[in-house]
Amino acid sequence: MAYLTDRKRAHGLGASHSGTRQHWRMSISSVALAILIPLFVFTFGAILGGTYEEVVIYYQRPIPAAIAVLTFIVGFWHFRAGAQIMIEDYAQASPARR
């Protein structure tokens, strides 16, 4: 009879068997968004109220364009990962799967 600790018994158990990986992904994207959102607000606020031509010229510059693109990519990725976790954790199994 092998001696198993509580941690060893619980290892690999859970809804998706990958909770640590998901937690780190969400943590990293949260930190990235904490940096990107204020940068996006400042770059977007600088051009807010400008004409269409001014906005196009402004976002043709590499720094504002990169900040905007990274903010949207990381934001949507963070949302998708959060929605996936929420569905896995809180959605009830269908009657056929019970």
- The pLDDT value given to residue 75: 97
H/E element, 3: none
78-81: long-range contacts (C-beta < 8 A, 24 or more apart)? 78/26, 78/29, 78/30, 78/33, 81/22, 81/25, 81/26, 81/29
What pTM, to 2 d.p., does this model score? 0.71
DSSP, res 48:
T
Question: Could you give the count of Cα atoms lying within 13 Å of 29 in the half-sphere of its Cβ?
Answer: 19
For the chain (98 residues), the mean pLDDT of every run of 10, in chain order, is 67 61 89 97 94 96 96 96 86 62
Domain positions in the chain are 22-90
Res 22: pLDDT = 82
